Structure 1
C-alpha cells in the first residue's frame, strides 16, 4: 500500500509525463517526511490541476519578482499583498512545466509590465520565465533540456506554496547560468539541488489586509463588523517610533491617557475610555509597561468592547502589540538611532534557520537606549531589552514556539506640569516640580510558549502560556496642593516598591465546517489568568517648592526605611473565561459574527469577592460590491470594580454596551483602505462617592461616548503612502451623584485628526530617496473629570527625509518642526504632561 503523499507524487509525475523509476520513488519516500502538508491541493483526474489557496475575484497586482540564491538553488518570489488569494493551475506540455496564476498581473512599481527570465539556472533546466500570459493571468514556465522537469509541491507556513524542480543532469554537466531579466541577478548553483519557486503574500507598506485581534483568527479586515486599525511595520520605521504613543497618534479615537514620564507605562484612552489593560500577541498585558517598539511587527487597535474574546477590558477597545516572529530565511539587521537630548539607541534583529531542514527557526531582538527625555532631570533613560524566540516545526501537523523577554530600565519619574486657575501654569515646559533625581526602575522577565497542532484538515488546537514577573520602584517628591497666591506647591516623599506576577493560559479549538452552503469558522476557548500585586506605599511630607522659582535638594532624600508605610496592597485576582464564536459565511457577500463569553472573577484583597459576567457580540457584514463592506454590530464588556461599599464589599463590575455601524472600502486595486464608523458606548456601574459616607463609593455612575471616526491607509501611487485619521468624540458623564453629571471625560478632545504621508522616488539615479510629512491636530479638552481646567488645542508638524537602497537605510526625522508648546496628556491638576519640543532624530540601519 502506498500512502497519501506517495499518491500525490505519483499523480503529479504521471500528469507531467515523467514516469516513476523505482530509485526515484524510493528517494521520494525517503524524503517525504521533510515535505509539509499540502492538504489544500485537490487533484482531479484531468490533464491539469487547480491549486486554490482561497478564491479571488479581483485582479491581484504582483508588484515585484525577486530571485534569491539559496543553499538549494534559486528561490523565485512573486510579491503581492494578496499572495494568499492567488490561484495556481499547473500542467506539463512537452519539455515544459507550466504554472498559470489567474486573476493576477505583473506590474513593476513604476506601473510598467515586464518579463522575468533566467537562462540555464541549473543543470537540466534550460530556462525559467515569469510573464503576463494575458491581461488576467501570470504564467510561470520551467523548461527542461530533454523532458519536463520532475516536480514536487509542498507548502510553507512562512512563505507560501513552493515548487521544487529537480535537475535531471549530472553534477559534472552543470552549466554556468546566463540571465536576461529586469531584477537583480541570481547566483549559480551546482549539482542536482532543486529550484524553489515561492508564491508569497507580503504585507509591507501602509495597508495591512488581515488582523487577528478582532476574532483571534486571521480574518480580512473587510469581513470584521467592527472598526479595527493597524499601524504596520513600515509606519513604525518611517516615523522612527520609539514609544507606542508615537505610533498610536495615527489612529482615530486614541489618546495617550497618563503622562509617560510619570508612569513609565503605556496607558491610552480609546473612544473616551481609559484602558485598564493592553494586549501583547493576544495576551492581556496587565502590567502595561512601556512596550519595546523595536520588537514589534505591527500594532492592531480594536475599537469598542473586546470582552467577548479577552474578558476583563474597558469598553473603548483594545490595543494589541504584535511581536516579531522567526523567519524561514536568514535575516540580519543592525541599526542605531541618535538624536536630541542625548539619545543613543542601537538595535539588532537576527533571524533564520538553525538546521538545514528549516524546521528549527530563531529570532533575536536586542535594544539598548540611553537618553532621549527632554525634561530637566538628573536621571537619564537607561533601557536594556533582549528577546530570543525559538520556533520548532515538530512535524507537518505540530508547531511549537518558545519565547523569552528580559527588560531592565531606569528612567526619570516626572509628574509633569500643574494646573493654574482654569488652565496650565505659565512656566517653562522643561521645568521640574518634583526633585531632579526622582526616578523609576523596573526589572521584568517574561517566558512563554505557543503550541499549535492540526488535528485534521479543518480542526486546529492552540495552547498558549505566558508568565511575567516584575519588580519595580517609584521614588519621587510627588505634587500635592498649589497655593496660587504664592506659587508654593506642597509635596510628599513617596517610595513605592511593587512586585507583580501574572500567569496566563489560553486554549483554543478552531474548526471549519459547512451546513449546506453556509460556511462556519467556529472558535471555542478557555482562558485562565492569575495576577498578584504586592505594593507598599512609603509616604511622608516633603519640602514644598515654588513653581515660579524652584530650589531643589533643600533636604536629603530619605531612604525607604525612613518613610512610614501609609498603606499596603496585597491582592490576588483569578479569572476564568469560556467563550464560543462563530464566523458565518452565508453567501460570498454576506457574513455574520456571533459570539458569547462567560467570565468568573475571584478577587482576594482585604475582602474576598466573586463576580461573573456574560458578554455577547453580534455583527453583520454585507458587501454589495466587492470593494465595499457595510457593517453593524452590538457588543458588551465588563470590568471588575475596585471601589469599596460601606459594608466592606467590592462594587459590582462595570458594564459597557456599544452599538456601531460603518462602511469599509478598498480602492486603487485594494492598495488603499478606508473605514468610516459611527458608534455609541454606555458604561454603567461607575463608582461615585457615597453621599452618606464620603470614604466609600456606590455604583450609580454612568458615562457615555458617541462619535464618528475615519481612518485611511495605503498607497495612492507607486511610492506614495498615506495613513490618516479623524475622530469626533463626545464623551461625558451621564449619571452621577457627586456633581459631575454632564461633565466631559478628561483628556478627550471633541475633534482630533492626523496625517502622515511619504513619497519615495521609484526610478532614476535618486531611486530610494524619499520625504515624509506629518500633521497631528488635537482639539482642546478637559484636564480632569471635575472639568475645572482646560488644555489648549495644538497642531504638531513632523517631517522626514530618508534614503533606502539595497541593504542600507538612512533616515532623518524632525518632530515638532515648529517647536510648538503643547500638552500631550492630562489626568488631574497635578499630572499635566507637556509634549516634547523640536526634536531631531536620525537612524542608520543595514539589513542582509
Structure 2
C-alpha cells in the first residue's frame, strides 16, 4: 500500500495549526454562514457566509432556495465550478438528480439514476456489474467521480446508489477542473454527509422485495455528539446496504454488502474535518450480450430467446471487494479566504472467471464462448487542494479558485484464457467442461499519475453579467510493464486546457449564456511513422443556451446547443501496423432540453429531450462519415408525479415515467441499427407518519428492447418488467 503524497502531510500540519490559533488571531467567522432550512435536498452543504464582498450573492441564493417549490431540483451544484455558483449563473449544461427523485423512482444503480437525464445513455453494455454510460455521444464510463475525486479510472466497479445524496452530470469538456476527462462530460456522485444540528439520532430502515428473488435491506442513521465532551461539534452518519439482486436470465444475479460510515468534526467555528470510509463486497454473474443475428438481425433458425444464459451455471462468477478512506478539510481564514482539501485512497479487486461471447456459427445454430480467468488488483490515491478568494466591490465581485490536484492509479492484472464447447442458441445443454490455458494471456503492471494546477475566476458584474474563466496545466505519466515479453513502456504527456463562459442575468429569470471549453486524454500507443510519440487526445466545445428560473420557484428549464469535437484520435497505420496515425476526429452537434416544473398545485414534471447528430469526420479505418455506435439521434423522457393527498404526516402519490430512444448504429460501418424503444415505469408511495410503503415497476409493459451493442456483433438486452415493493420506517 502506497503512502499518501506530500500534500496530505502538509494538510495535517495545516490542520493542527488552524485548529489551535495563536492568541492574537482574528476573531473566528462561522464557517456555515447563514443557514437556510428548506424542505428539499440542497446541493451545497457548506454555504458561503454572508460577508461584505459576497453578501448580495448569498442573499440571492437564500431567496432562490427558500422560494423553490420543486422537490426534484436544486439551485446550486459544486460539480461544474467547485464553488457555490448558482446553476442559473453557470454557462454550461448541468443536470442534478436529487435524493428525493431517486427515492421516488426506486433506483438501484447509477444506471437507474441516469435514465431520465438529457444527453445520457446509460448501461449500453447491459447488466454486466459495472457502471456504463455515454454522454453527448461519447463513452464516459471512466470519468465517474465520487465527491469530486475520480472514482475508478479502470471503470470495473458499480457504485451503491443508496449512498448518494445527489448525482451531478456535467456535460461537455471538464478538464480545466478535473484533468484528464474525455470530451463528453463527467458524472459526480455526492455521498450522504453527516448533518450538524441534530438534537437526537435520526434513522431510516428500509426493507424491499420483488420479482426474481430481489431483496434489499438498507439503513441510514445519523446524529451528533455532545460538543462539551470532545471540544467541538461532531456529527456522524452510517449507511448500510445488504442486497440480493437476481435476473430474468437464469443463473445471473448479484449479492452486495455495503457500509459507509462518516464523521464530521467542527473543531472551531472556522474549521471542519469530515472523514469518510466505504466497504463494499460484490459477488455477481453477468448478463452476457446476445448475438445480433437472431435478435435484431434475421437468423434462419428463428429468434434467440432473450433470457438465454450463455455462460455455464456454477462456473461464471466474479467477486469484487472494494474499500475507500478519505477526508474533506475546510478552513476559513477570514470572511473572504478559505481552503478546502479533498483526499481519498481507495482500491478494489476483481477475481473469478466468466465466459465471454464468441463468434456465432455460419449456420446460426451455435455461438462460441471464450473463458476468461481474471485477477485484477487496483488502487488509487488522489488529493485535490483548493484556495478560494473572494474580492472586489459591490459592482464587481470576484471569486477566484486556485487549485492543485494529484492522482496515482495502480493496476495489477493477470489473465488466463481457456477452451469450452460452443453453446446451442436454441436448445442449450449446459455442463461443458472448461479447460484453462496453461499459460497467462496477460500479465502486467500499470502505474498512472497526474499532477494538475488550475485557476478559475468567476466575476459578477453589477448583478447582471457573470463571467467564468479557467486555465489548467497537467502532467500525466503512464508506466506499463508487460511481464509476458519483459517489455516496458514509459509515456509522459502534458496539456494546457482552458474554459471561458458568460451569462446574462436577464429580467424575469431568463439567463442566456455562451461558453467554450477544452479537454484532454493522455494516450499510450505505438509511435508515429516519424518516430515521435502520439499527442494527447483533445476535445473542444462551443455551447450556447438559455436557462430559466422565475422567482416564484415553480420552474427550472434550460435549452442548450453544443458543437463538440474530439481530435487526435489514434488508429493503426494502414500501411504498417507497427506505427500509429493520429488523424481521427469526431464531431457531435446537438440540442438538449430539460424542464423541471410544478405544472399544477400537486403535480411535478421532469422532462428532457435530446437531438444529437454524431459523425466520424476523419478516419483511416473506413468509417469516415459514419455514426458512432450506441449514439441515438433522438431521446426523450418524462417523469410525472401526482401528489393525490397530503395532510400532516400522511400523503400518497403516484408517478408515471416514459423513456424513448431512437435507433442506434450497431457497428462502426453502420451496416445495421439497434432498434429504438419506448418503455414506461410506474411508482406509488403511501406515507403514514413514520411508515412509507412504496411500489416501483420498471418496464411496466414488459417490452422487449435493446440497450446497445458490444463489439458490433452482439447486443445487450434491456431489463424485463421488474416490480419491487419496499417498506421504510423513520424514527
Q: TM-score, normalised by structure 2?
A: 0.87
CA contact (8 A) 1:581 1:593 kept: yes
Q: How far 1:759 moved relative to its partner?
A: 1.2
Equivalence for 2:501? 619
What are the within-5 Å matches in structure 2 for residues 132-151 of structure 1?
none
Q: How far 1:650 moved relative to its partner?
A: 5.7
Equivalence for 1:255? 121
Equivalence for 1:420? 293
CA contact (8 A) 1:540 1:564 kept: no
Equivalence for 2:527? 645
**Matched residues in 2 for 1:640 and 1:327: separation?**
39
Match status 1:537 vs 2:405: no
Closer/same/farther in 2, CA of residues 435 and 643 from structure 1, 3 Å limit: farther
Equivalence for 1:290? 158
Equivalence for 1:449? 327
Q: Could you give the per-residue CA deviations for residues 670-727 of structure 1, whole angstroms, max 9, x where no partner exists? A: 2320010000101011122311123653211111100000011243333322211100
Q: How far 1:788 moved relative to its partner?
A: 3.0
Moved more, 322-331 or 402-411: 322-331
Closer/same/farther in 2, CA of residues 233 and 563 from structure 1, 3 Å limit: farther
Match status 1:371 vs 2:245: yes
CA contact (8 A) 2:668 2:712 kept: no
CA contact (8 A) 1:80 1:201 kept: no
- SS of 2:73's equivalent? coil
Equivalence for 2:15? none
CA contact (8 A) 2:253 2:286 kept: no
Equivalence for 1:322? 190
CA contact (8 A) 1:479 1:830 kept: no
Equivalence for 2:439? 564
Equivalence for 1:362? 236
CA contact (8 A) 1:400 1:451 kept: yes
Equivalence for 1:128? none
What are the within-5 Å matches in structure 2 for residues 697-846 of structure 1?
697-763=580-646, 767-846=650-729
Equivalence for 2:450? 575
What are the within-5 Å matches in structure 2 for residues 433-448 of structure 1?
433-437=310-314, 438-448=316-326
Equivalence for 2:56? none
- SS of 2:127's equivalent? helix
Q: How far 1:427 moved relative to its partner?
A: 1.3
Which of 323, 328, 344 matches 1:466?
A: 344
The structure showing larger relative contact order (alpha-carbon pairs under 8 Å, at least 6 residues apart) is 2
Structure 1: unaligned runs, 5 residues or longer: 1-32, 42-52, 55-61, 63-76, 89-102, 105-159, 162-198
Match status 1:403 vs 2:276: yes
Q: Number of aligned pairs?
A: 673
- SS of 2:113's equivalent? helix
- SS of 2:418's equivalent? strand
**Matched residues in 2 for 1:79 and 1:799: separation?**
24
Closer/same/farther in 2, CA of residues 632 and 726 from structure 1, 3 Å limit: same
**Matched residues in 1 for 2:48 and 2:554: separation?**
15
Moved more, 498-507 or 379-388: 379-388
Q: How far 1:331 moved relative to its partner?
A: 1.5
**Matched residues in 2 for 1:616 and 1:87: separation?**
30
- SS of 2:659's equivalent? strand
Closer/same/farther in 2, CA of residues 740 and 359 from structure 1, 3 Å limit: same
Equivalence for 2:175? 307
**Matched residues in 2 for 1:431 and 1:278: separation?**
31
Closer/same/farther in 2, CA of residues 740 and 718 from structure 1, 3 Å limit: same
Equivalence for 2:475? 600
**Matched residues in 2 for 1:406 and 1:241: separation?**
20
CA contact (8 A) 2:390 2:398 kept: yes
CA contact (8 A) 2:295 2:304 kept: no
Equivalence for 1:240? 106
Closer/same/farther in 2, CA of residues 431 and 202 from structure 1, 3 Å limit: same
Q: Could you give the per-residue CA deviations for residues 566-612 of structure 1, whole angstroms, max 9, x where no partner exists? A: 12231111100000000000120101000011000011113111100
Equivalence for 1:225? 91
Moved >6 Å (runs of 4+): 80-88, 199-204, 646-649
Q: TM-score, normalised by structure 1?
A: 0.75
Equivalence for 2:355? 477
- SS of 2:417's equivalent? strand
**Matched residues in 1 for 2:632 and 2:625: separation?**
15
Q: How far 1:219 moved relative to its partner?
A: 1.5
Match status 1:335 vs 2:206: yes
Equivalence for 1:193? none
Closer/same/farther in 2, CA of residues 453 and 201 from structure 1, 3 Å limit: farther
Match status 1:268 vs 2:133: yes
Q: Could you give the per-residue CA deviations for residues 627-662 of structure 1, whole angstroms, max 9, x where no partner exists? A: 110000000000112332367976321100100000
Closer/same/farther in 2, CA of residues 338 and 421 from structure 1, 3 Å limit: closer
Q: How far 1:356 moved relative to its partner?
A: 4.6
- SS of 1:636's equivalent? strand
CA contact (8 A) 1:257 1:274 kept: no
Match status 1:587 vs 2:465: no
**Matched residues in 1 for 2:452 and 2:48: separation?**
34
Query: Max radius of gyration: which structure?
Result: 1
